Each structure stands twice: as C-alpha cells, then as structure tokens.
Amino acid sequence: MSKEDVLRVADLPQNSPTQFKLRPPAPDLSRIAADLDLLGLRKLEFSGEIAAQGHKDWRLTAKLGATVVQPCIATLEPVTTRIDTPVRRMFLTDWQEPDASEVEMPEDDETEPLPAELDLQRIMIESLALALPLYPRSKGAETGEMVFTEPGKAPLTDADVKPFSGLAELRDALKKDQ
C-alpha cells in the first residue's frame, strides 16, 4: 500500500472532487488473490472520485474492474470472470451504530462512519470481495443430485418436493379421460 492509497479527510478540498486511480502491481495482486482465496487476479483497477457532500460528509463514487479466477464449485476447474461494477460509499460524520442486539440489514449498505483517513485500497478490496461470484461454475458443470434414504424405502427426490410437480401428469391424465 502506498501513501496515495490513503487520503486524510482533513486534507481533502471541500469545493472540488479528488480523483483517484489504483492499479496494484503484480506482487499486490498476488497478495490480494491469496487473501480472497482466488486462483488468480488480473487487471485490477479502482478509479473514481471523492467529493464533499454538504459541510461534513463525503461521497465516494468509483468503478471497480477486475478479472478473477476462482475454482468451480462442482469440478474445481478454474473459472475466469470479468467484474465491472460501480462502487458508491457515503461517509457520514454523524453516523450512528445501531444499538439493538438484533438488527436488520439496512437497505442502504453504502453508508458508513467517516474515518480520519480513507483507505482506498481497503475499499477496493472490500468492493472486490462483495462483487465476486458466490458459486462460480465452469461450462457444463453439474452439481448432481444426491439422494439419501433408509434401506427399503423409496427416496425423496427434488421433483417430489416441488409442490406443482405432479400437475402436468394430472392434466395429461384428465385429457385422456375426455
């Protein structure tokens, strides 16, 4: 991480946006890939701007672009995915942590407390982690169906638990009777 990746909020100009562009070098890409359990990470770029929002708050708008390689969930073969996604964050001076023991996730997941310094690399890595495909699959990969039952009993399949799976058979039987 370089000094340019961390911006002190007190040093940011209030009247004009601050532009940024991060393109981590190969050693950093390897470290980020290892931290995120990726098989590979190429062409990572995070660019945008930070601008004052009112007198005390700050808005970050950016674009994250990356090419990631993950293992397929079914075959473990490498799956390459291109990610191009917008990133938005609102850093609020008076942001308050919910105090209830059980809290529902708010619809606005882009808002967070304003720190003394904005770590752009941390925001980039967090945004990349959130944008990764949860279940990457190689072409033609099937997860298959596993059936378990006690000996001597008919197994319950996926088709059996679908509430409308038998309606097509019933419709066909009724047409035959007419």
Q: Flag whether the pTM goes above 0.75.
A: no
**Residue 59 near residue 89, CB atoms below 8 Å:** yes
In a domain, 156, yes or no: no
* CA 84 – CA 78 distance, rounded (Å): 19
* CA 68 – CA 33 distance, rounded (Å): 8
Sign of the torsion angle spanned by Cα atoms 6, 107, 128, 17 = negative
> Structural domain of residue 97, as residue ranges?
3-131
Q: Which of 68, 72, 71 is nearest to 42 (CA)?
A: 68
In a domain, 155, yes or no: no
- Which pLDDT score, from 0 to 100, does residue 176 have? 79
In a domain, 160, yes or no: no
In a domain, 99, yes or no: yes
Burial 150-177 (b: 16+ CB within 10 A, else e): eeeeeeeeeeeeeeeeeeeeeeeeeeee
In a domain, 159, yes or no: no
73-131 pLDDT per residue, tens: 888 889 999 999 999 998 888 766 666 555 555 555 677 878 788 899 999 999 999 99
In a domain, 169, yes or no: no
In a domain, 33, yes or no: yes
Structural domains counted in the chain: 1
- Which pLDDT score, from 0 to 100, does residue 56 have? 85
18-47 pLDDT per residue, tens: 899 999 999 999 999 999 999 999 889 999
In a domain, 158, yes or no: no
Structure confidence at residue 165 as a pLDDT band (50, 70, 90) = low
Mean pLDDT of the chain: 82
